[in-house]
A and B are shown apart, each in its own frame.
Chain A
Amino acid sequence: MLSPGRFRGGFGTVAPTEPDGRHLMAAGRVIAVGMVVFLLWGLFDARSLEKSAEASPKGTRRTAALAVLKPLFAVSRVIQTDRVGSAVERLFGRNPDRPGGSASAVGPPPPVHPSPTPSGGTSPPPGGGLPPFRSPTPQDPFRILVVGDSFAADLGLGLGRTLDQSRYSIAIDGRPSTGLTRPDYFDWGAQFPTDLAKYRPELVVVMIGGNDFQNLFVGGRFISYFRSAEAWQYLYALRVDRVMNEAVAAGARVLWVGLPVMGSSKGLSQAVRRFDGIFEQEAVSRPSVMYVDDWRLFTNASGQYSAYIRTPNGAIELMRSPDKVHLTLTGNEYLARHVVSILRRQWGLKT
C-alpha cells in the first residue's frame, strides 16, 4: 500500500526505470517538457499556428487560443523565428500562407439528371440578351470554374453530379474558411487571376461569403462590421466588383450564387442576407454576370430556415448539415440542379 506522503513529492524527483528499460518521468519534468514544446513550437511555427487559430470557428476556444498565442507570435516576428518555420515549409514545397482546402479539377463522365423544378428560390434577372452558350463536345468540353469557400467546393461536387462531365470540364477551387474580408488570411484578389489563367473558364460560378461575417481587413487595419457598417459594405462591394471585373475581362461569364438562409444563428443569417444584397447589386449592372438567389430554396412555407425540403418528386430530404450552415450532398445536388436549370433557361446551357 502506498502512503499518502509518497504522492506529495515527486514533482522534480528523479523517476524510476521500468524492467524494459523505459524511463518514467516525474510530473514536474513533464511540465518542463511542455513549456519547451510550447516555446519552440510557438516560435518556429507561429505563422501556421496563427492561421490555424484564426481559421477556427468563432467562440471561446478561438479567443482563448489567440489570447495565449498572440504574444508568442509577436515575439517570433521580432526575433524572426517565424521566417525559419516558413522557410522549412517552403522546403517541403508548401506555401506557409496557404489556407485550408485546395484546388482540384473534377474530371469526366455522368449522364444528365432530370431537371428539377425548385420549390423555392427566385428567378434571376434575364441574361442581358447574350448569345446562348456553345454546344460542348467530348473533344472540346465547356470549361466551368467554381470558386469560393466551402460552399463553392460543395457546389462544385453537386455540379459534377448534375452535368455530363464528358462535355463539361469542371474545375473547383473551393477553399474552406476563406472569404473576401480577410486577405491577410487568404487573398482571393491574388488567387482568382491565377485560377482564371490556369483554367481559362467560359463560365465562372462563384459562391462565397460564408466566412465574411467579421471585420474587414484593409491596409493593415480592420474595418468593423458593426461600427463602420457603411465603410465595410463599400469596401466589400469593391472586392465583389473586382472579382466580377476580372472574370469578365478574361472572357468568362459569371454566375454568382447567393448564400442560402442559415439556421445556426440569426446574426449569421442576417449578415448573409446583406451579402446577398451586395452580390445582386453588383451583378445587376453587368450583362455577363448573373446572380442566383437560392435563399428561398431552403426555407419552409413561412420563409424560415428548414433543414428538410420536399423535392419535386415528393420525397422529403435532409438538405442541411448538422452545423445548420452547410448543405448536405443531397442539398448540394438540389442547389446544383437549380443552378443548371437557370443556366439552361437564361444562357442556353446545353445539358
Chain B
Amino acid sequence: MIDFAIFFFAVFVGHWLLNPFPRRWKLFMVAASYLFYAWWDWHFVWLLPASTVIVQLGALAVARERDERRKRWILGTAVAADLALLAWFKYYGFLAINVANALHSLSVTSPLPLLQLTLPVGISFFTFMGLSYLVDVYRGEIPTSGWLDFFVYLSFFPHLVAGPIVRAPELLPQIRTRRDPRRIDVGRAFTLIWSGLFKKVVLSSYLAAAIVDPVFGNPKGHTSLEILFAVYAYAVQIYADFSGYTDIAIGVALLLGFHFPENFDAPYTARSIQDFWRRWHITLSRWLRDYLYIPLGGSRKGEYRTYANIMITMLLGGIWHGAAWTFVAWGGIHGAGQVVGHRRRKQRLERGLPALEEGAWATFRQRVATFHVVCLGWVFFRADSFGTAAQLLWRMVTAFGSAPAVHLLVVVAIALGIYVQYVPRNVFDRVGVSVSRLGPIALGASLAGGLFLITTLGPQGVAPFIYYRF
C-alpha cells in the first residue's frame, strides 16, 4: 500500500506538471505505467508493447482495407495473435496437464511438455481492452487512434492490472483532451479510495483469514453452519476485494482527471441472475455481451439458440476467470440461471404478466434466491477442485454440529458487506460532498486518520487482490 502511495504521489505531480504539454505528458504516462507494471513483475513488461503493437497494426490494416473478406481475415489474424499471448500464459498449463492425464489413461506419453508458466498480471484485462478497440475499428464505430494515444490507452496504470475494462470510446477522447488541474473531484476520489481500501484490507482480509480460508482449505474439519457461513463470507470477500480494487482504480483515475465507468452496482441486491450480471463486473459483462453474445446471434435466432448463446457466453466467461474446470462449472451455473430466468420471464409475458413478480415479498424472495444461486457458483469458483466443492456442499447438508468459527464478528462482517449494498447511492454522494468541503490540512489529517484506522484494523501481509490472478 505504502509503495503504491509513494509511486502515485510522484506520478500525480509529474502528470499535472506535464499536463499542458500533451506529447510529453503521454510519454511520461506510458513510462510511468510501464514502470508500474514492471514493479509487479519486470519479466513481462514486454507483453504490453507486444499486445499494443499487434492490436494497433491490426486496427490500422483493418481500417485501410476496403475488401470485406480480407478485412475479416485481417481482423481474425490480429485477434488470434493477441489471444495467442493470453492462451499461452493462461491456458497452456491447463491444456498440458489435461492432455497428459488423458493420454496416461491410454498408456500414451503426452507430447506436450509440462511447463509452469507464470500468469502475467492483468493480461486478461488489457487483452480484452485491445480486442474491443480492434473490433470497434472493424465495425467502423470508432476511427483508429494514433500510436502514442493507443500506448497510453492500453497501459494507463489505474486500469492496468485488474480493470475496469475501459472501452476505447470512453478513454481515448479523455487521453486526447488535456485535463483541467483546477477541477479535481477530491471528495468522490478520496471517498472511493478510502472505502476501497477498507473493503479490501479490513473486510475482505478479515473474512478470508477468519473463516473462508480455514473452511475451504479443510472442509472435513467444519460443520454445516460453518460451511454455510464460509460461503456467505466468500461472497462478501470477493465482492469487497474486487469492488474495493475498482473503487481505488476509479478514485486514482479521478485524481488524475479521468473518468472510468462503474464496475459494480450493489450486485447482491439483484433479483435475477441476469440482473446480477448487470450489477457485477459490469465492464466484463457488457464486453461479453457486445463481443461474444451478440456476434453469436444473441436473442435474434430463436429461443433455443438464445439459450445456447447464453450458455456459450457464460462458459467462456467462466474459463476467462481461470484455467480450471471449476471455473467452467461456475460459468455454467450462471448460464443455467440466466436460461431458467429467461424462460420464466418469457412464459410470464406470454400469460400477460409482468416479466418479474412485483411486490415487497416477491422482491425479497427473488433477492434471496438469486443470492443463493450466486453463492452456489462461488463454491465452485473458490474450491480448488470438484472434490472439495462436492465435499463442501455435501457437508453443508449433513455435518451438523457446533460452529465455533461462526462468531459474532464474522456475522457482523458478512452483514456489513451485504448491508452496504442496500444503502442508497446518494448517501455515499453526500459523504463525498462533505469530504470535498474540507480544507487541505483538515482533509489530509482526516485521510491520514482513515488510513491509520485501516492499517490498525487490517492484518499485515494482506493478500493480493483476487482479480490480479485473472
Contact = CB atoms under 8 A, between A and B. Distances in A.
Given A48-B460, A65-B3, A11 B16 contact: yes
B299 interface: no
B3 A157 contact: no
A104 B214 contact: yes
A329 B186 contact: no
Contacts of B180: 2, 6-7, 10
Interface in B405-462: 405, 429, 432-433, 436-437, 440-441, 443-445, 447-449, 451-452, 455-457, 459-461
A329 B97 CA distance: 17
A236 interface: no
A55 interface: yes
Interface stretch (B112-120, B137-145, B312-320, B352-360): B112-120
A45 B451 contact: yes
B12 interface: yes
B108 interface: no
Nearest to B459: A100
B1 A157 contact: no
Interface string A41-82: 100110011011101100011101100110000000000000
Contact of A24 (B182, B385, B456, B457): B182
A330 B444 contact: no
Contact of B1 (A52, A92, A100): A52
A7 B177 CA distance: 11
Contacts of A99: 460-461
A35 B12 CA distance: 12
Contact of B437 (A23, A37, A56, A160): A23
Interface string A1-23: 01010111111010110101111
A60 B338 CA distance: 46
Interface stretch (A117-125, A268-276, A283-291, A316-324): A316-324
A154 B213 CA distance: 10
B449 to A, nearest CB: 8
B146 interface: no
Contacts of A55: 460-461
Most chain B beta-carbon contacts within 10 A, residue among A36, A88, A320, A322: A36
A45 B455 contact: yes
Q: Chain B, interface size: which category?
A: 35 or more
Given A4-B178, A109-B221, A263 B460 contact: no
Contacts of B23: none
A335 to B, nearest CB: 14
A333 to B, nearest CB: 9
B230 to A, nearest CB: 13
A88 B20 CA distance: 44
A325 B388 CA distance: 23
Contacts of B116: 263, 307-308, 318, 320, 322, 324
A177 interface: yes
Given A7-B20, A36-B440, A36-B445, A92 B457 contact: yes
Interface stretch (A25-33, A133-141, A193-201): A25-33
A306 B114 CA distance: 9
B19 interface: yes
Nearest to A4: B20
A7 B222 CA distance: 61
A328 interface: yes
B209 interface: yes
Given A15-B184, A41-B448, A45-B452, A32 B440 contact: yes
Given A16-B183, A104-B214, A160-B217, A98 B448 contact: no
B461 A176 contact: yes
A306 B116 CA distance: 8
Contact of A52 (B2, B399, B437): B2
Contacts of A49: 2, 455
A232 to B, nearest CB: 25
Contact of B97 (A85, A98, A318): A318
A107 B222 contact: yes
A329 B217 contact: yes
A107 B404 contact: yes
A111 interface: yes
A41 B104 contact: no
B343 to A, nearest CB: 37
Given A16-B183, A33-B186, A33-B447, A316 B100 contact: yes
21 contacts: A6-B180, A18-B185, A22-B433, A24-B183, A27-B16, A32-B444, A35-B444, A36-B444, A37-B451, A92-B456, A94-B457, A102-B209, A102-B459, A104-B209, A106-B218, A107-B405, A160-B220, A161-B221, A165-B220, A170-B221, A329-B384
Interface of A: 2, 4, 6-11, 13, 15-16, 18, 20-41, 44-45, 48-49, 51-53, 55-56, 60-62, 64-65, 68-69, 85, 88-89, 92, 94, 98-102, 104, 106-111, 154, 157, 160-161, 165, 170, 176-177, 263, 306-308, 314-318, 320, 322, 324, 328-330
Given A10-B180, A23-B187, A106-B214, 15 more contacts: A18-B185, A22-B187, A22-B433, A26-B181, A27-B184, A31-B13, A34-B12, A36-B443, A36-B444, A41-B447, A49-B455, A263-B116, A318-B116, A328-B384, A329-B385
